[in-house]
Amino acid sequence: MNIYLQGLTMGLAYVAPIGLQNLFVINSALTQKRSRVYLTALIVILWDVSLGVSCFLGAGALMQALPWLQKVILGLGSLIVIWIGIGLLRSKASLEGGKDVNVPVWKLFTTAFVVTWFNPQAIIDGTMMLGAFRASLPTGGDLPFIFGFGSASVIWFLTLSTIVSLLGSKFNEKALNIINKVCGGVIIFYGCKLIWNFVQLMGWVK
């Protein structure tokens, strides 16, 4: 039970600061029907747990064995993060358009995959943190830790979706556009910071 709680606590600390996933779920909860909101949350949970398990089971070791892979993920991922931010700045949020139930499920899967697996900071942070935790676990502790970590993702995203969905009636299109602009600016800043980290990693500046 202690190991499960350790995984749960670690999972909440890991998933809460990941801005892209949270913004994706929040925007869905603000603009889509309740059934699609929870479907979106469940898809994000799927990719989030898969990323965490991958990090836990050895992505960190892979990056250590192949240093160039970390550079590729950081360089390419930073550009993708900036592109997502620019998209938010250029977008015009619409309460009516966001309620379109004909949005294909495959698009939800692919978009959630991008905001999860193409977030280089999440991958790097996940490999470092979860790798360190795995090394400290006693024999047989892997499974309860993974269950705890997965539970954190389920609790976080379903709770976030429910709260935002219930308060969504207080938001209008002007507020949504302001949120998009603010979030877009924050994400672009985050992407620029990642580019700077990439430049430092490449040794182009001292």
The more confident residue out of 60 and 194 is 194
Q: What CA–CA distance (Å, rounded) separates 87 from 37?
A: 21
Q: What residues contact 186, with CB distance under 8 A and at least 6 apart?
A: 19, 85
CA gap 39, 20 in Å, rounded:
17
**Is 90 exceeded by the pLDDT of residue 153?**
yes
Question: What is the per-residue pLDDT across 156-173, written as a single tens digit (0 to 9) for each?
Answer: 899 888 888 887 767 566
pLDDT level of residue 45 (50, 70, 90 thresholds): very high
Q: Give 96-143 pLDDT, tens digit per residue.
A: 543 443 467 888 888 888 878 887 767 776 776 676 677 666 777 778
Query: What is the spatial distance between Cα 83 and Cα 106, in angstroms, rounded to a whole number?
Result: 21
